[in-house]
């Protein structure tokens, strides 16, 4: 056991052999490690596991708000040590060992390394077990790739309920939801009984909790009936406010938004600063979309703290910029003004961490580093606007800030840097830059195209250009060959039957005999959308290959079917993608495929077996196309 005073959670997962020889151990040097003071821990890796140099321990604080930090591992004669001071509010932490590139080296067989922190009286903080259970479901998988069994999470809740019966008021529904996922038939009666008990009270919050139960059980009629009862009984209550706010936020015309805002104030007598600022921010976005700059300025001036508009400023400016090098911008002078304000706001926020740090979650970065990265991202927007205004020197200046360290820049940022550099630094400079990127395997189709134009301009041979491209491709293939080994699978793919945007029904079984690439995505998913230009390249590459099919499954949209279809179709049409898109309206297919995050791709062979899975997007278009091509060709065999 990795600590003497560990609570029941460790007993529950003893079957996972935390202290077994084949597993690692994480042990506090203090009997009662405390929040708010520095504690030291020893880490003993699993037998025969090599820990790379510069590895760190990633620590998620179970607190409000959650945060994640990393700390260096110090080699000792018997293993490793690390020390850190958790915030005062931290009840517990979960840790994993990663290399310097954030790749998981040891997360205790997907279970994580846990340790309780104590108060000054050597007591656990209240609700530690229940909050830990919630945090495992909410963040453990996403940040440390944990796969905690449901029975462990359930026992954590049950332990908390035995210690503190009042914890049920806050945590009983997530407990029941977890239990329901494990055994629907046995749990449904318990949930219905609890819903009735909640409705027997006169507490609106408990009635709202009952509607949550009906929603989980997909009892739409009961949910709507109960909501109607709540609205009738509490016409100015919590649910009524939520409905009014949702109605406001679903409105797109500024005049209608203003009318609904005024009606909200009158009905609920709720003019809290936070509410007003949220309303104003939505109106600001709507006015910007309509190019109504007079009302835009009016409502900007009404916001209590304009620094908090930094993200809004940048998002508006980014849309006006055209969002890429090859699309025309709109109202660029106004875009420049708004983007400039975003940079000023970020500087103001960075200068006042005491006031603003609670607004941001920067993972393992400190506040200053996090704000520096936000400034760099906003500088990328500003540079694009300046470039389109033909202020090339200024554009190049701000793009250098945007990419900071070129090794860590995104491919889009590097492509923009290359475009601006060619204007400012000349052909020879950009030729060298592009060649270095391409031969190191970090090129993109846009970089290849730009380099070809440079070679033509400098009257260099096609053979010399082809040699550079071949070197880059060889590096990429070698890298991908190693990475693909970790993605090999071999199990039967689950059949599905979904409607396409055109209204046709498409099933996996109907595609038998083809290699199928399933790409799970959503319109709100930034990495998904960032991968689509490369995915279009792959689709185009195989468009004449009758043995290959690409299927893009739109999921996790949480919308009614009609708006989901309309908004997805508009996105695909606006970007001119030739994708076969299927609508996973009820999220059944994404659940059947046990997808934890998107984008996730499955490569399925001609016999319906999953041969590869690929999660996430590395931002290198060349690599994505090459990786997919390799997996597709292997799946054909």
Query: For residues 425 and 209, what is the distance between their CA atoms, to the nearest angstrom?
Result: 62
Q: Which of 27-36, 47-56, 202-211 has the lowest mean pLDDT?
A: 47-56
Q: In this predicted structure, what is the pLDDT of residue 147?
A: 80
Structure confidence at residue 476 as a pLDDT band (50, 70, 90): confident
Contact between 86 and 117 under an 8 Å Cβ cutoff? The reply is: yes
| pLDDT cut 90: percent of the chain above it | 64
Give the number of other CB atoms < 10 A from CB of residue 105: 18
Domains of the chain: 8-161 (2.60.40.10), 183-234 (no CATH), 243-264+271-297 (no CATH), 427-485 (no CATH), 488-636 (3.40.30.10)
Q: Which of 109-113, 118-122, 361-365, 442-446 has the lowest mean pLDDT?
A: 361-365
Q: In this predicted model, what pLDDT tens digit does every residue of 351-392 receive, in sequence order?
A: 998 888 777 765 556 778 889 989 999 999 999 999 999 999
Q: In this predicted model, what pLDDT tens digit does every residue of 73-103 receive, in sequence order?
A: 999 988 899 999 888 888 888 899 988 877 8
Alpha-carbon Rg for the chain in angstroms: 27
Contact between 335 and 321 under an 8 Å Cβ cutoff? The reply is: yes
Q: In this predicted model, what pLDDT tens digit does every residue of 273-328 receive, in sequence order?
A: 999 999 999 999 999 999 999 999 999 999 999 999 999 999 999 999 999 998 89
Indicate whether 272 pLDDT > 70: yes
Query: For residues 188 and 445, what is the distance between their CA atoms, to the nearest angstrom?
Result: 53
Residue 376 φ then ψ, to 5°: -60, -40
In the block, which residue shows the tokens 């700059």? 293
Is 505 strand, coil or helix? strand
Region 223-231: mean pLDDT is 97
DSSP 24-59: -EEEESSSS-BTTSEEEEEEEPPTT----TT-EEEE
Contact between 359 and 348 under an 8 Å Cβ cutoff? The reply is: no
Whole-structure pTM value: 0.74
Structure confidence at residue 2 as a pLDDT band (50, 70, 90): very low
Indicate whether 507 pLDDT > 50: yes
Q: Which residue has the higher pLDDT, 621 or 582?
A: 582
Contact between 180 and 150 under an 8 Å Cβ cutoff? The reply is: no
Query: For residues 204 and 234, what is the distance between their CA atoms, to the nearest angstrom?
Result: 7
Contact between 180 and 189 under an 8 Å Cβ cutoff? The reply is: no
Residue 128, classified by CB atoms within 10 Å of its CB into exposed (0-12), middle (13-18) or buried (19+), is buried
Indicate whether 10 pLDDT > 80: no
Strand order in the sheet with 609-615: 488-492, 609-615, 600-604, 515-521, 548-554, 581-583, 497-500, 505-507
């Amino acid at each position: 056991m990795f600590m003497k005073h560990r609570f029941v959670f460790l007993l529950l997962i003893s079957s996972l052999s935390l202290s077994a020889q084949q597993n690692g151990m994480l042990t506090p040097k203090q009997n009662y490690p405390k929040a708010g003071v520095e504690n030291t821990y020893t880490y003993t890796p699993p037998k025969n596991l090599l820990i790379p140099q510069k590895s760190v321990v990633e620590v998620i604080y179970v607190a409000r708000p959650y945060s994640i930090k990393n700390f260096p591992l110090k080699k000792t004669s018997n293993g490793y040590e690390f020390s850190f001071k958790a915030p005062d509010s931290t009840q517990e932490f979960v840790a994993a060992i990663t290399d310097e590139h954030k790749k998981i080296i040891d997360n205790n067989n997907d279970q994580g390394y846990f340790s309780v922190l104590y108060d000054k009286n050597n007591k656990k903080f209240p609700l530690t077990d229940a909050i830990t259970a919630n945090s495992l479901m909410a963040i453990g998988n996403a940040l440390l790739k944990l796969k905690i069994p449901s029975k462990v999470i359930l026992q954590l809740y049950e332990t908390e309920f035995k210690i503190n019966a009042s914890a049920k008021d806050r945590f009983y529904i997530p407990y029941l939801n977890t239990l329901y996922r494990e055994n629907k038939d046995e749990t449904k009666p318990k949930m219905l009984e609890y819903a009735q008990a909640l409705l027997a009270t006169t507490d609106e919050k408990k009635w709202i909790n009952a509607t949550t139960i009906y929603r989980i059980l997909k009892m739409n009629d009961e949910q709507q009936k109960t909501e109607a009862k709540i609205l009738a009984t509490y016409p100015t209550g919590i649910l009524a406010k939520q409905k009014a706010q949702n109605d406001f936020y679903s409105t797109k015309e500024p005049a209608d938004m203003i009318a609904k805002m005024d009606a909200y104030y009158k009905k609920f007598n709720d003019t809290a600063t936070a509410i007003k600022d949220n309303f104003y921010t939505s109106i600001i976005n709507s006015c910007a979309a309509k190019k109504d700059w007079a009302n835009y300025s009016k409502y900007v001036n009404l916001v209590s703290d304009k620094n908090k508009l930094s993200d809004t400023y940048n998002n508006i400016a980014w849309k006006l910029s055209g969002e890429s090098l090859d699309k025309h911008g709109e109202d660029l002078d106004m875009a420049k003004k708004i983007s400039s304000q975003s940079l000023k706001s970020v500087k103001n926020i960075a200068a006042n961490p005491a006031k603003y740090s609670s607004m941001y979650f920067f993972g393992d970065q400190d506040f200053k580093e996090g704000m520096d990265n936000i400034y760099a991202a906003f500088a990328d927007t500003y540079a694009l606007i300046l470039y389109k205004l033909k202020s090339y020197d200024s554009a190049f200046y701000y793009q250098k800030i945007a990419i900071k360290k070129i090794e860590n820049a995104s491919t889009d940022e590097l492509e923009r840097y290359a475009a601006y550099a060619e204007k400012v630094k000349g052909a020879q400079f950009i030729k060298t830059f592009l060649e270095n990127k391409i031969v190191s395997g970090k090129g993109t189709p846009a970089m290849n195209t730009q380099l070809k134009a440079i070679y033509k301009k400098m009257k260099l041979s096609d053979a010399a250009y082809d040699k550079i491209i071949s070197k880059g491709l060889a590096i990429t293939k070698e890298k991908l060959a190693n990475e693909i080994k970790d993605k090999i699978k071999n199990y039967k793919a689950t059949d599905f039957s979904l409607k396409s945007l055109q209204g046709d029904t498409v099933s996996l079984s109907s595609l038998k005999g083809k290699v199928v690439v399933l790409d799970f995505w959503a319109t709100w998913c930034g990495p998904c959308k960032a991968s689509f230009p490369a995915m279009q390249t792959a689709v185009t590459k195989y468009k004449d290959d009758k043995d290959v099919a690409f299927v893009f499954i739109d999921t996790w949209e949480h919308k009614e079917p009609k708006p989901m279809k309309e908004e997805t179709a508009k996105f695909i049409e606006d970007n001119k993608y030739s994708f076969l898109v299927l609508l996973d309206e009820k999220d059944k297919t994404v659940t059947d495929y046990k997808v934890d995050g998107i984008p996730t791709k499955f490569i399925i062979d001609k016999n319906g077996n999953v041969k590869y899975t690929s999660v996430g997007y590395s931002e290198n278009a060349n690599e994505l196309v090459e990786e997919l091509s390799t997996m597709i060709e292997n799946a054909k065999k």
